[in-house]
């Protein structure tokens, strides 16, 4: 780049800064949020490599290297929490990920505006309900004495079951609760993508004799693929992150076998047992694996299609 080009580039940037100064001012709170709550706390990562004491502080605490990582990898909870985390997220991926796509496709075919808006509002609302309230609803529905599910079972001639004390039911209960809460809200992105499809493509398909099913198959779905791929890559990155708040509200020691995940283990170790250094090490392991999964999913997507995050 020549000196003239460099000067022009700088002047152009300065002109844009002055022209759109209101937008840059609006950006300041978001930048501050990331700096204060995301980047500044990275300083505390070193706790994972120290024998941390709240009385000595981070700087004075002695280094112990990978001791806490080794302790976690050799503990009996390592495989249990890792397997449970993967399985719960796999349930959500297999059953929860396609549902917003299906809902968006169905809503896209509805012609009655008022009915469509009513359905959208009804399926969006659960997203805005507090996790505590949702967990309370689930607990009441599955209560062994007066829960509606057990009442129906009893009326049908079955026996009442205390579902929340049965490890084999926990993953299904948790996945179903999340699907009910988030599936409707997840359709927003897909409905936006559907709204951006060129209508001329549908007209061309009609001229070629394509019915609604074939239009969906050959026009709608290919247009949705980039959005689906991006969201799938992001989902892969959070496969080790489970909403531990809901799990803590629902699980019990008798269901740890299938309910205890990495995030709940970090909570119990770090907050309940005050092992801040150990909990930080487990959290770093979680983040590193998530980064590897995102990178792998992005690499595969780039090879198989033209869509990727970077």
pLDDT, tens digit, 9 for 90 and up, residues 239-257: 767 777 888 889 888 898 9
* pLDDT at residue 177, rounded to an integer: 92
Please report whether residue 147 resides in a domain: yes
Please report whether residue 36 resides in a domain: no
Q: What is d(CA 9, CA 99) in angstroms, rounded to the nearest whole number?
A: 47
CATH of the domain at 237: 1.10.3720.10
Q: Are 148 and 105 in contact (CB under 8 A)?
A: no
Positions of the chain with pLDDT under 70: 1-14, 240, 304-310
Quote the pTM value. 0.79
Please report whether residue 34 resides in a domain: no
Q: Are 273 and 71 in contact (CB under 8 A)?
A: no
User: What is the number of domains present in the chain?
Assistant: 1
* pLDDT at residue 198, rounded to an integer: 84
Please report whether residue 167 resides in a domain: yes
Which residues are 63's β-sheet partners? 50
Q: Are 150 and 96 in contact (CB under 8 A)?
A: no
Q: What is d(CA 257, CA 253) in angstroms, rounded to the nearest whole number?
A: 8
Query: E-assigned strands of the chain?
Result: none
Q: How many CB atoms lie within 10 A of CB 270?
A: 17
Domain that holds residue 273: 50-304
* pLDDT at residue 286, rounded to an integer: 82
Which residues are 50's β-sheet partners? 63
* pLDDT at residue 8, rounded to an integer: 46
Q: Are 96 and 183 in contact (CB under 8 A)?
A: yes
Q: Residues 72-108: pLDDT tens digits?
A: 899 888 899 889 988 988 898 889 899 999 999 888 8
Residue 62 carries which DSSP code? P
* pLDDT at residue 133, rounded to an integer: 93
Instruction: Please list, residue by residue across 176-208, b when 16 or more beta carbons sit within 10 angstroms of its beta carbon and e when fewer do.
Output: ebbbbbbbbebbebbbebbeeeeeeebeebeee
| Distances 300 to 157, 230, 297 between C-alpha atoms, Å | 51, 12, 5
Please report whether residue 39 resides in a domain: no
Please report whether residue 11 resides in a domain: no
Please report whether residue 25 resides in a domain: no
* pLDDT at residue 10, rounded to an integer: 54
Please report whether residue 9 resides in a domain: no
């Amino acid at each position: 780049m020549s000196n003239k080009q460099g000067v022009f580039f700088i002047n152009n940037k300065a002109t844009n800064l002055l022209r759109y100064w209101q937008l840059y001012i609006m950006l300041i709170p978001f930048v501050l949020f990331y700096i204060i709550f995301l980047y500044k706390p990275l300083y505390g990562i070193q706790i994972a490599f120290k024998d941390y004491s709240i009385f000595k502080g981070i700087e004075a605490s002695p280094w112990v290297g990978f001791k806490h990582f080794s302790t976690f990898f050799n503990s009996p909870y390592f495989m249990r929490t890792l397997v449970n985390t993967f399985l719960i997220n796999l349930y959500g991926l297999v059953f929860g990920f396609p549902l917003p796509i299906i809902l968006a496709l169905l809503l896209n075919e509805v012609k009655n505006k008022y009915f469509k808006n009513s359905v959208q509002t009804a399926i969006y609302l659960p997203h805005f309900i507090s996790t505590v309230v949702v967990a309370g609803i689930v607990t009441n529905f599955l209560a062994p004495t007066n829960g509606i599910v057990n009442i129906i079972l009893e009326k049908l001639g079955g026996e009442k079951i205390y579902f929340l004390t049965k490890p084999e039911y926990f993953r299904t209960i948790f996945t179903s609760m999340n699907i009910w809460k988030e599936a409707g809200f997840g359709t927003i992105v897909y409905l936006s993508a559907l709204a951006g499809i060129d209508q001329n493509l549908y007209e061309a398909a009609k001229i070629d004799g394509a019915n609604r099913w074939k239009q969906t198959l050959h026009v709608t779905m290919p247009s949705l693929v980039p959005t689906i791929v991006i969201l799938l890559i992001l989902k892969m990155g959070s496969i080790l992150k489970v909403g531990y708040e809901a799990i803590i509200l629902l699980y019990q020691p008798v269901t740890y076998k299938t309910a205890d995940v990495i995030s709940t283990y970090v909570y119990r170790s770090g907050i309940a047992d005050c092992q801040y250094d150990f909990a930080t090490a487990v959290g770093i392991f979680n983040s590193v694996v998530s980064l590897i999964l995102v990178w792998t999913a992005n690499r595969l997507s780039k090879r198989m299609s033209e869509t990727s995050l970077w």
